[in-house]
């Protein structure tokens, strides 16, 4: 069953993807699955272990269930001087 997911990218993910936000249709059921799929396509250098993920603007775990119309944001490690 496919879902429409809105994704936001930051930092290095944004650079690799070339976009800061996009809407996609996906079969992925969890953020982890979704990320794996994107990682392969766009060559993201970060692993879920080093990142956080937010669904609908709340931090959650990588294996939570995705629903149709969810917003997923992958958070690379905070980069500040």
Q: Taking the complex as a whole, how short is the minimal distance between the CB of residue 55 and another protein, in angstroms?
A: 9
Contact 44, 63 (CB under 8 A): no
Q: How far is the CB of 39 from another protein (least distance, A)?
A: 13
Please say whether the beta carbons of 64 and 30 come within 8 A.
yes
Q: How many CB atoms lie within 10 A of CB 51?
A: 17
50 binds another protein (CB under 8 A): yes
Positions in the binding site for another protein (CB under 8 A): 8, 10-12, 14-16, 45-46, 50, 52-54, 57-64, 73, 75-81
């Amino acid at each position: 069953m496919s879902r429409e997911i809105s994704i936001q990218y930051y930092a290095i993910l944004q650079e690799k993807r070339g976009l800061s936000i996009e809407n996609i249709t996906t079969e992925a059921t969890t953020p982890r699955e979704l990320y794996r799929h994107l990682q392969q396509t766009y060559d993201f250098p970060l692993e879920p272990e080093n990142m956080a993920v937010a669904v609908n603007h709340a931090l959650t775990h990588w294996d939570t269930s995705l629903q149709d119309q969810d917003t997923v944001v992958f958070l690379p490690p905070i980069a500040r001087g």
